[in-house]
Amino acid sequence: MKPKEFYDKVVAMRKAQKDYLKFRGSAYLQTSKRLEREIDDEIKRVEAVLAEEERKNQPSLFGDGFYTT
């Protein structure tokens, strides 16, 4: 998901949350929960990408290869 898409989805999620609190309808709750799940999934995806990048950039304790004599 691109940053603008994420932003738009968060805005929609907050609107759905506010609508649910205002109207207390089950459709509002379902929409709110769906959007929250989508945001949570995207956060998990980005965290996994960042962790993988961090792992790749971590220098090896033993260097690039095996030490042989």
Map out the domains of the chain as residue ranges. Answer: 3-56
pLDDT of the chain along its 69 residues, tens only? 999 999 999 999 999 999 999 999 999 999 999 999 999 999 999 999 999 999 988 877 776 655 555
pTM (two decimals): 0.81
**Tokens 């090896």 -> residue:** 60
Q: Which of 6-36 are b and which e, b meaning 16 or more Cβ less than 10 Å from the residue's Cβ?
A: eeeeeeebeebbebbeeeeeeebbebbeebe
CB atoms within 10 A of CB 42: 15
